[in-house]
Amino acid sequence: MALIVHKYGGTSMGSTERIKNVARRVAKWHDAGHQIIVVPSAMSGETNRLIGLAKEVMGQPDPRELDMIAATGEQVSVGLLSMALLAIGKKAISYAGWQVPIKTDSAFNKARIQSIDDVKVRRDLDAGKIVIIAGFQGVDVDGNIATLGRGGSDTSAVAIAVAMQALECLIFTDVDGVYTTDPRVVPEARRLKTVTFEEMLELASLGSKVLQIRSVEFAGNYRMPTRVLSSLTDPMIPLEIEANSGTLISFEEDTHMEQAVISGIAFSRDEAKITVLAVPDKPGIAYQILGPIADANIEVDMIIQNQSVEGKTDFTFTVLRNDHAKAMDVLNKSVKAHIGAASIVGDTKVSKVSVVGVGMRSHVGIASQMFRTLSEEGINIQMISTSEIKISVLIDEKYMELAVRALHKTFNLENA
């Protein structure tokens, strides 16, 4: 017998029929002798409906009042799921965030969890009840409802698992795990049985949007084994099969032995490149260029500064594609004349491809194998950035799929 947390997303909770399926799946786990806490999201579409109403009365909704409204979606979900369990003869009880309580700071719409009281929940579990806790929400020190922001239910589930010292946190979703790359680009892409938290962070931030990134950080910081698995299977699939399905996000030391050098190939089309040409190469030039960009709330990803030639250098960086026009505008208006740049050129037809794997820490030659592969395919590398567990390159977007397929093959990901 173990304590296990289940999390179900909006699609899994999308109708009363689907909620009944969730109840059957949860009951199966409880019948096997486990203590179960369930954290459901709002029914799909509900959060958008509520935010839409808010925007109709106030163009920029007040953050506190928006949380008051948005939190109701999950409150309805927990009540419905609890009733669906009661209807099939299980003992169950639902809690809104403030009832647990899940205490947060007062950063409405993007609050962070500070503490979770386990007294009520522990008592209910010991009484044989399945406990349903609203994700995405908590209560601040003044008794205001605060929500964690989009995808916050993942974070709630992991945080509750940590607070309750659960054995594992199971994130049931509409994909069946984390893949070596997007199967729509590489049909041979393989589901990973395990991935480390660090790899998952890189894979998530680079476009494999399976889990909210904050929940992965949380799971990593508190070393909570977290599994991503499908909620679309028959709910009565044997538990021992389900318990080993999907992808387990775990600790490096646990999984290192069986770990391939490279875990996956991530990519992003959502990139744009900006180059400031022939800038006088003086101290502070990077700040003079990127300061106004940061002030405009534009996030910068890759940055390179060329070797100086005759006291002039070129400065290149990337931004999200829909920030490109704004960034060009900032530079042309506030920066160009001021720093004495010759010109500023932009390119929105670029993509980023990244090779990710904790194994590359202890393996030399990954970068050179990556560059050789791209070279053999005739793909020019425009920018490079590296971290301990990934190497990213910026390339012409028309070669993106080709690059991903070639790298997937060269690192033998379909067979690992």
Answer yes or no whether residue 416 interacts with its own copies by CB under 8 A.
no
Q: Can you tell me the distance from the alpha carbon of 345 to that of 276, in angstroms, rounded to the nearest whole number? A: 7
User: In degrees rounded to 5, what are phi and psi of residue 413?
Assistant: -75, -25
Closer CB to its own copies, 104 or 392, in the complex: 104
The four Cα atoms 191, 195, 200, 202 give a dihedral, to 10 degrees, of -90
The residue from 24, 65, 109, 296 that contacts its own copies (CB under 8 A) is 65
Listed ranges 65-73, 109-117, 245-253, 317-325: which one lies at the site for its own copies (CB under 8 A): 65-73
Decide: helix, strand or coil at residue 356: strand
- Return the SS3 of 202: helix
- Of 46-54, 160-168, 207-215, 304-312, which segment contacts its own copies by CB under 8 A? 46-54
Contacting its own copies (CB under 8 A), which of 35, 41, 75, 268?
A: 75
Q: How far apart are CA 358 and CA 173, in angstroms?
A: 25
DSSP character string of 105-151 = -S-TTS--EEEE--HHHHHHHHTT-EEEE-SSEEE-TTS-EEE--TT
Name the helix (H) or strand (E) containing 373. helix 366-376
**3 state DSSP class of 319:** strand
Determine which helix (DSSP H) or strand (DSSP E) holds 393, and give its type and residue range.
strand 390-396
Beta pairing partners, 386: 391
Write down the least CB distance from residue 170 to its own copies, Å: 22
Q: Which stretch binds its own copies (CB under 8 A): 82-90, 158-166, 325-333, 401-409?
A: 82-90
Q: Verify binding: residue 26, its own copies, rule CB under 8 A.
A: no
User: What's the min distance (Å) between Cβ of 100 and its own copies?
Assistant: 10
Query: Does 13 interact with its own copies (rule: CB under 8 A)?
Result: no
* Among candidate residues 115, 96, 97, 95, the one with its CA nearest the CA of residue 105: 115
Taking residue 281's Cβ as centre, other Cβ atoms within 10 Å add up to 17
How far CA 90 is from CA of 14, 23, 26, 257, 387, in Å, comes to: 22, 9, 10, 41, 49
Nearer to its own copies by Cβ, of 92 and 355: the residue is 92
Count Cα neighbours of 237 within 13 Å in the Cβ-side half-sphere: 15
Which of residues 26, 27, 39, 54 is near its own copies by CB under 8 A? 54
Residues 116-155 that bind its own copies (CB under 8 A): 143-145
- Rounded to a whole number of angstroms, the minimum distance from the CB of residue 254 to its own copies is 39
For 389, the token pair is 């567990």
Report the nearest approach of its own copies to the CB of residue 67 (Å).
8
Whether a cis peptide bond, with omega within 30° of 0, leads into 61 is: no
Query: CB under 8 A: which stretch of 61-69, 172-180, 321-329, 404-412 binds its own copies?
Result: 61-69
Q: Does 87 bind its own copies (CB under 8 A)?
A: yes
With CB under 8 A as the contact rule, the residue among 38, 84, 157, 335 that binds its own copies is 84
Min dist. Cβ of residue 73 to its own copies (A): 8
Number of residues that bind its own copies (CB under 8 A): 38
According to DSSP, the residues that pair with 93 across neighbouring strands are 131
Tell me the closest approach of the beta carbon of residue 34 to its own copies, in angstroms.
Answer: 22
Q: Which of 4, 38, 66, 261 binds its own copies (CB under 8 A)?
A: 66
Name the DSSP letter for residue 169.
E
Q: Examine residue 115 and tell whether it contacts its own copies (CB under 8 A).
A: no
Closer to its own copies by CB, 119 or 337: give it. Answer: 119
Taking CB under 8 A as the rule, does residue 79 contact its own copies? yes
Query: Which residues in this chain contact its own copies in the complex, by CB under 8 A?
Result: 16, 19-20, 23, 50, 53-54, 56-59, 61-62, 64-66, 68-69, 71-72, 75-76, 78-80, 82-84, 86-87, 93-94, 96, 98-99, 143-145
